[in-house]
Structure 1
Amino acid sequence: MKTLTYLAVLEPTGGKTYSVFFPDVPGCISTGKDLEDAVKNAKESLELHYYGLFKDEDEIPVPSDTVSKEDADGCIVSPVTIYPDIVVERFNNKKVKTNCTLPAWLKEIAENNHINYSQVLESAIKQKLGLNQ
């Protein structure tokens, strides 16, 4: 399974809090209320950033195995590994909320019959697009 491991720089910001950035992934930043939270949030941020690059068909940065002295000075450097195929699969299949309109009488009958709107709409769209297996 393909993995990508980037080095995260966790910078103390006072108390137990940290700000996080990835020198190899410009714009990918995060924070944490403590070290454990910062590392967890760094991974979530990196996964989301990766997915955005993937969806936009942007170039995926190549991870390096070192961090510059000025980036690392006074900070903690931690490797963060993601699994690109799993990230894409998870975000592509994430359920999202959407609104639709129905006649009031149909909504009332559906509710009285305990119809799951999401399930019916998903099934109908798949059928309309010929995506049913």
Structure 2
Amino acid sequence: MKKTDAYPCVVRYEDNTYYADFPDFDACFTDADSLGELFVNTKEVLNGVLLTMLDNGLTLPKTSDSKNINLKKGEFVLLVEAPIASIEERLNKKSIKKTLSIPKWLNDLGMKENVNFSQILQDGLKRELNLK
């Protein structure tokens, strides 16, 4: 999959409100009082769904061709950017808490010397995995 994509969003205006729904996803929708607010809200809800799916190891759906979406009277399609690469980068930089055990004497000595246990573990893992 490309690292940036755009997902179609079906928009309708009803009762002074814009309603937006992403047909490629289950339960990915939003609303807004103005088009400007709609642009912000659609990007926000899409990014939230993408983040949740990628964080849970789910496969992202392929983007529908907006020409193949059946629109009802008054509806239009809005393409919303999906910055997949930046979301993946954000997830890869997320810290994960790990529980580990070391001898008390080693912990005491490290605490006395103000050792950054987390950094040492990261450096050791990188060395062990031949990463730079």
What's the TM-score, normalizing by structure 2?
0.61
Is the Cα–Cα contact under 8 Å of residues 20 and 42 in structure 1 kept in the other structure? no
- Residue 63 (str. 1) matches residue 100 (str. 2): no
The count of aligned residue pairs is 124
Amino acid at match of 1:5: A
- Residue 115 (str. 1) matches residue 115 (str. 2): yes
Residue of structure 2 equivalent to 1:98: 98
Q: Name the CA distance, whole Å, in 1 between partners of 2:93 and 2:29.
A: 24
Residue of structure 1 equivalent to 2:48: 45
- Residue 4 (str. 1) matches residue 37 (str. 2): no
Amino acid at match of 1:6: Y
Q: Name the CA distance, whole Å, in 2 between partners of 1:110 and 1:23.
A: 54
Residue of structure 1 equivalent to 2:23: 23
Deviates more, 1:119-128 or 1:94-103: 94-103
Q: Name the CA distance, whole Å, in 1 between partners of 2:124 and 2:109.
A: 18
Q: Name the CA distance, whole Å, in 2 between partners of 1:7 and 1:64.
A: 8
Amino acid at match of 2:48: S
The verdict on how the C-alpha distance between 1:83 and 1:44 changes in structure 2, with shifts beyond 3 A counting, is closer
Q: Name the CA distance, whole Å, in 1 between partners of 2:95 and 2:49.
A: 20
4+ aligned runs moved over 6 Å, structure 1? 30-34
The verdict on how the C-alpha distance between 1:94 and 1:28 changes in structure 2, with shifts beyond 3 A counting, is farther
- The structure with the largest alpha-carbon Rg is 2
The verdict on how the C-alpha distance between 1:123 and 1:2 changes in structure 2, with shifts beyond 3 A counting, is closer
Unaligned runs of 5+ in 1: none
Of all paired residues, the percent bearing the same amino acid is 24
Q: Name the CA distance, whole Å, in 1 between partners of 2:123 and 2:104.
A: 21
- The superposition leaves residues 33-74 of structure 1 with CA deviations (integer Å, 9 ceiling, x where unpaired) of 985774353133243156358x55x4641233265446x87x
What's the TM-score, normalizing by structure 1?
0.61
